[in-house]
Structure 1
Amino acid sequence: MRFVHTSDWHLGRSFHGAGLLGAQARYLDHLVELVRAERVDAVLVAGDVYDRALPGPDTVALLDDALVRLQAAGVQVIVSSGNHDSATRLGFGARVMEPSGVHIRTTLASVGVPVTVGDTHVYPIPFLEPSLVAEELGCEETTHAAVLRRVMERIRIDAARRPGRSVAMAHAFVTGATTSDSERDISVGGMGAVPVEVFDGVDHVALGHLHGAQQPRDHVRYSGSPVAMSFSETAHVKGSWLIDLSGATASHEFVEAPVERPLRRLRGELDDLLSADAYRDAEDAWCQVTLTDAVRPRGAMDRVRSRFPHTLQLLFDSPGSGADVRTYAERTRGRSDLDLCCDFLEHVREGVPATDHERDVVRDGLAAAGRARRRKDDEGHVADVGRGRSGAA
Structure 2
Amino acid sequence: MFRVLHLADLHLGYRPDLPAPVREEVYRARNRVLQAAVDLALDPRQGISLVLIAGDLFDNHRPEASLVEETIRQLTRLEAAGIQVITVPGNHDEITYNDAVYRREAGRWPGLLVTDPMPAKVATLKVKGDTCHLMAMAYTGGVTRVDGPLKAFPPAEGEGVNLAVFHGSLDWDGGERSLPLDGEALAAAGYDYIALGHIHRGGQRRLGRGLAVYAGMVAGKGFADPGTGSWTIVTLGDGPARVEQVPARVTPWRLVDLDVTAFQEPEELETAIREALDPGALMQVRLTGSLAFDLDLEGLQARLGHPCPYLELVNETAGWTPEILESIAAEPTIRGLFVRRLQEKLAGSAGPGEAEVIRRAIFRGLLALKGGSR
TM-score normalised per structure 2: 0.71
Give, in angstroms, the shift of residue 86 of structure 1: 3.1
Counterpart among 271, 291, 296 of residue 287 in structure 2:
291
CA distance in 1, matches of 2:86, 2:8: 11
What residue in structure 2 maps to residue 330 of structure 1? none
Range with bigger deviation, 218-227 or 277-286: 277-286
Q: Contact conserved, 1:266 with 1:287, CA < 8 A, in 2? A: no
How far the C-alpha of 1:96 sits from its partner, in A, is 2.7
Q: Give SS of 1:123's match.
A: strand
Determine helix, strand or coil for the equivalent of 2:305: helix
**Residue in 2 aligned with 1:43?**
51
Q: Which runs of at least 4 in structure 1 moved beyond 4 Å after TM superposition?
A: 190-193, 346-350
Shift of the 164–85 alpha-carbon distance from structure 1 to 2, 3 Å rule, reads: same
| SS of match in other structure, 1:202 | coil
Equivalent in 70, 87, 92 of residue 78 of structure 2 = 70
* Match in the other structure for 1:378: none
- After TM superposition, the structure 1 = structure 2 runs for residues 209-224 of structure 1, keeping only pairs within 5 Å, are 209-217=198-206, 219-224=211-216
Counterpart contact for 2:118–2:144, Cα < 8 Å:
no
- Going from structure 1 to structure 2, the CA distance change for 1:301 and 1:166 (only over 3 Å counts) comes to farther
Cα drift, residue 168 of structure 1:
0.6
User: Can you list the C-alpha shifts for 1:169-191, whole angstroms capped at 9, x where unaligned?
Assistant: 01112238xxxxxxxx9529x98
Pick which of 101-110 and 204-213 moved more.
Answer: 101-110
Instruction: Describe the SS at the equivalent of 1:48.
Output: coil
Deviations 1:99-136 (A, max 9, x none): xx51112341784322523310222222355x6432xx
C-alpha separation between the residues in 2 aligned to 1:241 and 1:195?
A: 23
Of 270, 274, 277, which aligns to 1:274?
Answer: 270
Judged with a 3 Å threshold, the aligned counterparts in structure 2 of structure 1 residues 237 and 120 are, in CA distance, closer, same or farther, namely same
The Cα offsets for residues 47-80 of structure 1, whole Å up to 9 and x where unpaired, read as 0111122222343233223212222222111010
Match of 2:357 in 1: none
The partner residue of 1:205 within 194, 219, 231 is 194
Q: Does 1:258 align with 2:249?
A: yes
- How far is 1:209 from its partner? 0.3
User: What letter matches 1:127 in structure 2?
Assistant: Y
**1:306 is matched with which residue?**
305
Give secondary structure in 1 for the equivalent of 2:33. Answer: helix
Give unpaired runs (5+ residues) of structure 2. Answer: 261-265, 322-332, 343-360
Q: Structure 1 or 2: larger helix share?
A: 1
Kindly report the root-mean-square deviation, in angstroms, between the aligned alpha carbons of the 2 structures. 3.8
Instruction: Indicate the residue corresponding to 1:225 in structure 2.
Output: 217
Q: Which residue of structure 2 aligns with residue 30 of structure 1? A: 36
- CA 1:46–1:350 in structure 2 vs 1: closer, same or farther (change >3 Å)? farther
The amino acid that maps onto 1:224 is G
Q: Is the 8 A contact 1:114 1:124 kept in 2?
A: no
Q: How far is the alpha carbon of 1:275 from its aligned partner?
A: 1.8
Q: Are the structure 2 counterparts of residues 353 and 31 from structure 1 closer, same or farther at C-alpha, using a change threshold of 3 Å?
A: closer
Amino acid at match of 1:206: A
1:314-353 Cα offsets, whole Å, 9 max, x none, are 322222579xxxxxxxxxxxx98x977xx99x86945325
1:281-317 CA-partner distances (Å, limit 9, x unpaired)? 4233211121346344252574375154544543222
Q: CA deviation at 1:30?
A: 2.7
* Percent sequence identity over aligned pairs: 23
One-letter amino acid matched to 2:67: T
Shift of 1:166: 1.1
Mapped contact 1:115–1:123 kept (Cα < 8 A):
no
Letter in 2 for 1:299: E
After TM superposition, the score normalised by the length of structure 1 is 0.68
Q: Are residues 252 and 51 of structure 1, via their aligned partners in 2, closer, same or farther at CA, if it must alter by over 3 Å? A: same
Mapping 1:8-19, distance limit 5 Å: 8-17=9-18, 18-19=23-24
Compared CA separation, residues 249 and 257, structure 1 to 2 (3 A): same
- Which secondary structure does the structure 1 equivalent of 2:231 belong to? strand
Q: Number of aligned pairs?
A: 315
Query: 1:327 matched to which residue of 2?
Result: none
3-state secondary structure, aligned to 1:275: helix
Q: Which moved more, 1:194-203 or 1:213-222?
A: 194-203
C-alpha separation in 2, matches of 1:65 and 1:191: 29
Equivalent residue letter for 1:96: G
Contact 1:120 1:165 in 2 (8 A): yes
- For residues 174 and 81 of structure 2, what CA distance do their matches in structure 1 show? 34
User: Which runs of structure 2 are paired with 1:1-393 in the superposition (5 Å)?
Assistant: 1-17=2-18, 18-19=23-24, 20-36=26-42, 37=44, 38-87=46-95, 88=97, 89-92=100-103, 96-97=107-108, 102-108=111-117, 111-118=120-127, 119-129=131-141, 132-134=143-145, 142-143=147-148, 145=149, 148-150=150-152, 152=153, 155-156=154-155, 159-160=156-157, 163-175=159-171, 186-187=174-175, 193-200=180-187, 201-217=190-206, 219-234=211-226, 237-269=228-260, 271-276=267-272, 279=275, 281-292=277-288, 294=291, 295-299=294-298, 302-303=301-302, 306-311=305-310, 313-319=312-318, 349=364, 351-352=366-367, 354-355=369-370
Deviation at 1:165, TM superposition (A): 1.5
Question: Gapped runs of 5+ residues in structure 1?
Answer: 177-184, 323-334, 359-393
